[in-house]
Structure 1
């Protein structure tokens, strides 16, 4: 980000204002400066530099200003500035807008930042395709490693680019005839290939037996309870770490539930790095039924001794439990489980994989995608289907057995006799 710095004389009096920034915004970009007599002009220029991706505004000549006023007006149609304005006007959380603006600056602006959103030459099926191919070989940090960008990351970036260009199509009056992203075919997951140290499936499913073995490898009772609750409910980290005693309920005899009404989220520009806010989506506000056994475990864990607003899982002093703190205990438990033969050495589960494993159990026992969608808090069933639909294939035998039972179809042993009778009838 560019900055405005007052310049003073020997007497300490402000004589001018300097706008300073690194070219392109990168750490290795050369320092650029421009001087102004008044602070207001400096602030206007600073915003123009920020909107243009930390580059000189088009049409501006150092020390002289805009030589071509028309170019100065046209800069609002440059992708970097158009995208920033698009994101600012969205009805979304401050954190989410900060995240996607950062994605624009990191992955879209280097290619499209100075392109005109009105231009069919700058934005076409061909130019989008070139960018997609570039992203397919771009390396990003994934956990502690630097790896090729994951397919789902590229899909998200392509969707972000498409949403920005769509605004150029639907604005009044329209700035372009159509969205070139609609013409782009994104590569399949297997077009990336598979690295030696990872699976083609980004999700790591664990069996109930493996979960039980992993739980036994935690030395803290609170960690064991946390993992079992996550597996038994399918909740996200931000949701389960925000659970208060009042959210665990038994509204009627034989029914037990956890209510998801809030979640911990990273804040931007606030004194606290994390704040309590609403769940990930509107569908995220939900009630999850749990077993009587899990509810009793929570009671034995000390649920009834907590105040209604006390966190069930906390840092030991009643405050937010940082994921980074728990993460090292998780890694130690995973390593111990492998050493003791309780978890296959080729599995590298994360805490979020408890959620995936929760889904696997439900689908393998023939529960519908709609039920799973509501339980997980997905806004759209398409999200559930895209992510977990392949698990339905592993449940096809159980589904066929169900059809056999409800339709009264004979057992396979008598099938040959039926085929024989059919052939004689046909004859």
Structure 2
């Protein structure tokens, strides 16, 4: 396959800061406090002796290349070096050592209102940002209506932006950055300020840009947003590159590091509400209480790891302590490791609502879930028709399982050894037919 022309080249990039630690000594007595102004030179000399300097490397030997028209996510925890890298790529900060080669005009949105003057109106800031990007006034005017329409702030376009809400600010800032024809668009976490509808619009605009040959770099802590917006991901940890490749691979390594650093273990085949502390929503146990839950194989052996070719059984045990006026419906909410919903399953038949102990199970058939990690939220609901419902209990990520795949399990791979994207791997029916060539065809 022919490689794309490079838009960004980063070679052995490093950035250091000098941190000074002052061991400031507080006065110990009232006399010291009263005489301290007269002893300032002595105190300052003591502080100079007690000060300690430390070199902190925000980035260390970072190297990667990005081709034209690629959407790249930059992920990592706080202090990983993401913001420092973006500032260097945006030419805001100079690197300590290393080389960065950027081909094209860069538009950056690193924080809400980047490049905006608060006293100027939205209209004036659009033209100001255009001039900063090196565009002529006529070029900005040609894009003006599209920018304003995309941002949704047309009613306030002649209002000083200092009166904008944070949501209005970020909508206009992104619109300016994305519509003034940048060759490279750099977007930080600021899109989380916008609502979901605007985030979808941003994702579509990013795809349009890359389809037209533009390059997009996107920083986010939301793995769901990263998966929906980007093709590849650069994972940074402590200023160093840990992974640069597919989103699935980089995000998986990032989430594994979170689990290991917090002492948390992903796999959890059993759940006991009295022991396991998980997030709960809509909790009301006046009618029904969760006793336990587990994941098991077809032999009823509790497990948290399953082959893609195995059946996974989800089991929930609960008690109805008083008769409910409406049916109580158990349901399982399965999400991938990034928190994105995969499916929700309900029983086909009406559930009992009489007092008693109950066990309900749900079978996940082989090859329904793709290889990967999944969490199961346990929910008990009552539905009253239409959109009315109540959750008696819901335990988020009560079970956490992993689906693994050995190389020879799925013959439908046809020899492909790489990652197959998606959360599900349904076994759909395929049929071949061969069209006979017409005798009149030449």
Shorter-chain TM-score above 0.5: no
Q: TM-score range by the shorter chain?
A: under 0.3
**If each structure's strand is expressed as a fraction of its own residues, which one has the higher value?**
2
TM-score (norm 2): 0.27
**If each structure's helix is expressed as a fraction of its own residues, which one has the higher value?**
1
TM-score (norm 1): 0.28
